[in-house]
Amino acid sequence: MGGDHGVSVTVAAALSYLKHTLDTRVILVGDKTSIEQAIAMAKNGYAERVTIHASTEVVTMDESPALALRKKKDSSMRVSVNLVKEGRADACVSAGNTGALMAISSFVLKTLPGIERPAIAATLPTYTGQTLVLDLGANVNCSAQQLLQFGVMGAMLATAVDGKVRPTIGLLNIGEEAIKGNEVVKEAGDLLRASHLNFQGNVEGDGIFKGTVDVVVCDGFTGNVLLKSTEGLARIMGTFLREEFSRNFLTKLSSIVAIPVINAFRRRVDPRRYNGATLVGLRGIVVKSHGSADVFAFETAIERAAAEVKNGVLKRIEEMMAAQQVSPA
């Protein structure tokens, strides 16, 4: 029920996903009448693999996470996470309020053994493909031990979802040298070097987009600034291109010739292809879709959640944490 577009996107995306898979069922949680109307409008032949689970409340995009947690126990978000907790669903995908989803998921599901705090992990496009970055905003302040835990979780996500056999890990810093950064970052670097992870050292901001490593670890404050800056840069590049191609008759004519190149460029940086941020570290799989996601983007988030289930992300993290003998600071 959440996101900017509600059931018009989430229902259509779920039905589209079912069209491409044979072994999956979808539980749609929310207002029963609205969901049934959206299914009827979609005219999709895969509705027989859909179950509607009615809920009476909705968490709005500007609602306080604490209020949503305390007061709205029958919200579509809370009920969806409860279904994961009860084992009736393997994963939850939501385009709703990020803070509320994190608060509800953390309260209901709790963290995996050895994990002190969950993190938000998502992929960004690079020269060589894509890089997983975490944390993107769940934890403003982090200890060195928590950054190590993020490294473990990120490595297991990259292995399970992206097929990386031994993913490379980098620590976001202001320089590549080990002496750079504040005390927490330097201590985290020492812990990562001493771990069983394939740690490659510090990575600067531009190194992320070069594809220097498979996983980049940072605190949530830094990660969120990075994410929002990247989104802003992408928007301004698109605006500049449109302005230049529409400047006069010759530039408009050249834009026609350049259409294949422009389309190829757009596909490579299309944020919809990277939609779906995992709330990693919980005892259940929860994926947050961007609130403005369209059908294609939301389906991408569903695909990510399904991949995490099928490739045993939770078990991989538990096993690696046990091997690392990492405990909360």
Looking at 214-289, list the stretches that DSSP marks H as alpha helix, in order from N- to C-terminal side: 220-245, 249-257, 259-269
Residue 280: its pLDDT value, please? 94
Residue 327: its pLDDT value, please? 46
Which is nearest to 123 in space by CA: 254, 284, 300? 300
Domains 7-109 and 121-272+315-324 share a fold: no
Each residue of 215-227: pLDDT tens digit? 999 999 999 999 8
DSSP 33-61: HHHHHHHHHHT-TTGGGEEEEE-SB---T
Residue 255: its pLDDT value, please? 87
Residue 323: its pLDDT value, please? 80
Helix 144-162 to helix 295-310 angle (10° resolution) is 100
**Domains of the chain by residue range:** 7-109, 121-272+315-324
User: CA angle 54-17-41, nearest 5°?
Assistant: 60
> Could you give the 3-state DSSP secondary structure of residue 32?
helix
Q: Give domain 7-109's CATH number out of 3.40.190.10, 3.40.50.1370, 3.40.30.10, 3.40.50.10950.
A: 3.40.50.10950
Amino acid in position 228: K
Residue 325: its pLDDT value, please? 63
> Could you give the 3-state DSSP secondary structure of residue 241?
helix
Q: What is the distance in angstroms between the CA of the first residue and the CA of the last residue of the chain?
A: 38
Whole-Å CA distances, 211 to 92, 137, 323: 29, 21, 27
CB burial of 285-316 (b: ≥16 within 10 Å; e: otherwise) equals bbbbbbeebbbebbbbbbbbbbbbbebebbeb
The model's pTM is 0.87
Residue 329: its pLDDT value, please? 43
CATH class of 121-272+315-324: alpha beta
Residue ranges in the chain modelled with pLDDT below 70: 1, 325-329
